[in-house]
Amino acid sequence: MFQNLDEIQVKINVIDVDDNAPKFAQSNNVSTTLGVKVNAPIYTEVTKLEAVDVDADALPVNYHIEKIVYQRPRTGLREIVDNNVFIIDQLTGVMQTNTTYGRYADGYFEVTVKASNAPQMKDTIKVQIFVLQDTELLRFVFNRDPTTVQKKLPEFTRDLEGAFAQPLRFNIYDTEFYSKVDGSLDFGRTSSCFQVMSDDQVVDLKTSENIFAESQSDLEDLYQQYDIVRVEVCSINVADIPSPLKWIFLFQRCAEIFVTDKIDWIEISLLVIGALIGTLALIAACVLCCLYNR
Ligand SMILES: [Ca+2]
């Protein structure tokens, strides 16, 4: 018996050769710009980097900080600092703070991160991280607690970016209980400090304030939807406010505390009675004094 040679079945196994290196989403060594608050608690998330390997049989990508350079343009300082000033989770690519940045104020870090999954299979990215003072940032004041705000943050950021005509990006840094002018916390409100970015560049505070002022009418629906009371400077240094304005500012903030803390009518009545007794006592003292002098 001869086999029919007109037809033959050939089984071909297509092997996807693992020949591509992992690649960062924002790659070609283009730097991505971020910010970190000077007083951010240790292990605050700065960003999450992601590199993708298109090969089917690729091994998981590992992330590693290769080098950190600190620069302070004002003084021309440029120094290579320790690689553990920031930390990166080698499997998830989440970058976190690993110190406080008081001594790095007025400057920025350039962090070189490598993603690799085999020898010679790597990609690098440079991340610029500006060290920011609270006084250089704006904040949203939400009339909600931090947990509620935290949950809505991704959705809010997307809606916020969509509300402006120009392409802006917002780095929102935290969701903390709102601190009142007396330093106490308002547990019903949340403040979230943020930075405005345009074309991957940091927008300065004054320009950011103007952007919000000019878009006030476009933002009203958004403020209402997310219970935003106002947008203000992240940390107001009362000493920096000119004298007459300082008293108006303090009065406003105290009035706010008074209203938000819902002091009840009995307390108000007691305060009024107390003030009345004090005034009457003063008048009586003056009258007695006059009578005595005669
Ligand atoms: Ca590969």
pLDDT interval class at 270 (50, 70, 90): confident
Q: Mark which of 132, 162, 195 sits at the end of a domain.
A: 132
Q: Examine the pLDDT at 17 and tell me if it is beyond 60.
A: yes
Q: Examine the pLDDT at 152 and tell me if it is beyond 80.
A: yes
Cα distances (Å, whole numbers) of residue 161 to 14, 34, 137, 157: 45, 16, 17, 6
Centroid of ligand 1 to alpha carbon of 53 (angstroms): 5
Q: Specify whether the CB–CB gap between 113 and 88 falls below 8 A.
A: yes
127 and 93 share a domain?
Answer: yes
Residue 247 maps to a domain = no
pLDDT interval class at 56 (50, 70, 90): confident
| Choice among 50-54, 100-104, 118-122, 241-245 with the minimum mean pLDDT | 241-245
Cα distances (Å, whole numbers) of residue 174 to 30, 163, 235, 279: 26, 21, 13, 47
Q: Examine the pLDDT at 10 and tell me if it is beyond 50.
A: yes
Q: Return the pLDDT at 159.
A: 95
CATH number, position 139: 3.30.70
What distance in Å separates the CA atoms of residue 56 and residue 280, rounded to the nearest whole number? 87
Nearest to 204 by CA among 140, 159, 128, 138: 138
Centroid of ligand 1 to alpha carbon of 10 (angstroms): 28
* Long-range contacts, 147-155 (Cβ 8 Å, 24+): 148/190, 149/175, 149/190, 149/192, 150/175, 152/226, 153/192
Q: Specify whether the CB–CB gap between 118 and 18 falls below 8 A.
A: yes
Most confident residue range from 181-195, 217-231, 255-269: 217-231
CATH number, position 103: 2.60.40.60
Greatest pairwise CA separation for the chain in angstroms: 148
70 and 125 share a domain?
Answer: yes
91 and 125 share a domain?
Answer: yes
173 and 89 share a domain?
Answer: no
Centroid of ligand 1 to alpha carbon of 46 (angstroms): 27
State mean pLDDT over 50-71. Answer: 94
Residue 251 maps to a domain = no
122 and 184 share a domain?
Answer: no
Q: Mark which of 116, 132, 148 sits at the end of a domain.
A: 132
Nearest to 111 by CA among 99, 91, 132, 95: 95
What distance in Å separates the CA atoms of residue 124 and residue 200, rounded to the nearest whole number? 18
Residue 253 maps to a domain = no
Centroid of ligand 1 to alpha carbon of 29 (angstroms): 18
Residue 284 maps to a domain = no
Q: Return the pLDDT at 245.
A: 53
85 and 175 share a domain?
Answer: no
What distance in Å separates the CA atoms of residue 241 and residue 122, rounded to the nearest whole number? 51
Centroid of ligand 1 to alpha carbon of 118 (angstroms): 8
Residue 56 maps to a domain = yes
Centroid of ligand 1 to alpha carbon of 121 (angstroms): 7
Q: Return the pLDDT at 15.
A: 76
Q: Return the pLDDT at 142.
A: 97
* Residue showing tokens 């947008």: 231
Which has the higher per-residue pLDDT, 39 or 248?
A: 39
53 and 90 share a domain?
Answer: yes
Q: Could you list the residue range(s) of the whole structural domain that residue 75 is in?
A: 23-132
Centroid of ligand 1 to alpha carbon of 83 (angstroms): 26
Residue type at position 157: T
Q: Return the pLDDT at 243.
A: 56
111 and 161 share a domain?
Answer: no
User: CA 73, 79, 85: angle at the middle one, nearest 5?
Assistant: 105
Q: Examine the pLDDT at 167 and tell me if it is beyond 80.
A: yes
Question: Looking at the 3D structure of the chain, how many domains does it have?
Answer: 2
Q: Specify whether the CB–CB gap between 238 and 249 falls below 8 A.
A: yes
Q: Return the pLDDT at 261.
A: 44
Q: Return the pLDDT at 257.
A: 46
Q: Examine the pLDDT at 170 and tell me if it is beyond 50.
A: yes
Residue 191 maps to a domain = yes
pTM of the model: 0.63
CA 101 to centroid of chain Cα atoms: 15
State mean pLDDT over 67-86. Answer: 94
Q: Return the pLDDT at 262.
A: 45
Residue 42 maps to a domain = yes
Q: Phi and psi for 206 in degrees, rounded to 5?
A: -60, -45
Read off the tokens for 151.
């949950």
163 and 127 share a domain?
Answer: no
Q: Convert the pLDDT of each residue in 28-49 to its tens digit.
A: 545 677 888 898 889 988 888 9
202 and 125 share a domain?
Answer: no
73 and 100 share a domain?
Answer: yes
Q: Examine the pLDDT at 172 and tell me if it is beyond 60.
A: yes
Four-residue CA torsion sign, 71, 76, 77, 79: positive
Q: Convert the pLDDT of each residue in 99-144 to its tens digit.
A: 999 999 889 999 999 999 999 999 999 999 989 888 889 999 999 9
153 and 86 share a domain?
Answer: no
Q: Examine the pLDDT at 6 and tell me if it is beyond 90.
A: no
**One-character DSSP codes across 86-127:** EEE-TTT-EEEE-S--GGGTT-EEEEEEEEEEETTEEEEEEE
Query: Please, which residues have CB within 8 angstroms of residue 162's CB and are 6 or more apart in sequence?
Result: none
Residue type at position 214: E
* Residue showing tokens 């002091």: 263
Centroid of ligand 1 to alpha carbon of 240 (angstroms): 55
Q: Mark which of 237, 254, 281 sits at the end of a domain.
A: 237
Residue 294 maps to a domain = no
